[in-house]
Structure 1
Amino acid sequence: MRRQQHLIQALADASDGRLQLAPSPQGLHLLHETAAGPTPQQDEALSQQALAAGVMLAPLARYAMTSPRRGWLFGYAGYDDASLTRAAQRLAPLLGALTGPR
């Protein structure tokens, strides 16, 4: 739970509060859904940009053939706090392009 809370805070800090993830009582991933916005292609493109920046970010579209849900899965298992902070700092500019200015 400590790593999860660290990732939630690191993403919020790095994005100036634009990216708020809800805690999950179980699991080793966090889910961020977007209400409307990115298409599956945009989700995938952002995931590729994140990978190029050294962060694996899985789009929800990969997990459902027909679901209209959009967003990403953030995994945090096996990473220390410093690694999670660096990942959040690398992701914030990419996600900011989709969430817009605050």
Structure 2
Amino acid sequence: MWKSIFKSVTTFKAGVLIIFCNNDDTNNSTVTKKQLVGNYANIAFANYKKAYDDAVFLETAIYTFTATPTEANFTIAKTAWKAFRESYGTTEAFRFADGPIIVLR
């Protein structure tokens, strides 16, 4: 889980650094603040959507397990929990107080 969080945050920061630190004069394209914020919002939305979908699946798995406590339902609930923690962990990068949103204002 922590590896995926670190990978997501590192990838995002590397992308921002490449955009802002690109001194290549042959590249005539410029990225506007609106495009950068829009891309960040799309990434955040995709991460939160995945976490939400996994949370709904986890809720269903837990209700199924509590209604019918079998070994198979317990395994499904454990698997759902692991998937949810993985996707939820990637959303934590968007909650840092000193993150990109404040920098872009």
- Asked if Structure 1 and Structure 2 have the same fold, meaning a TM-score greater than 0.5 normalized by the shorter chain, the answer is no
Larger relative contact order (Cα-Cα within 8 Å, sequence gap ≥ 6): 2
> Which has a greater percent of strand?
1
> Which has a greater percent of helix?
2
TM-score, length basis structure 1: 0.27
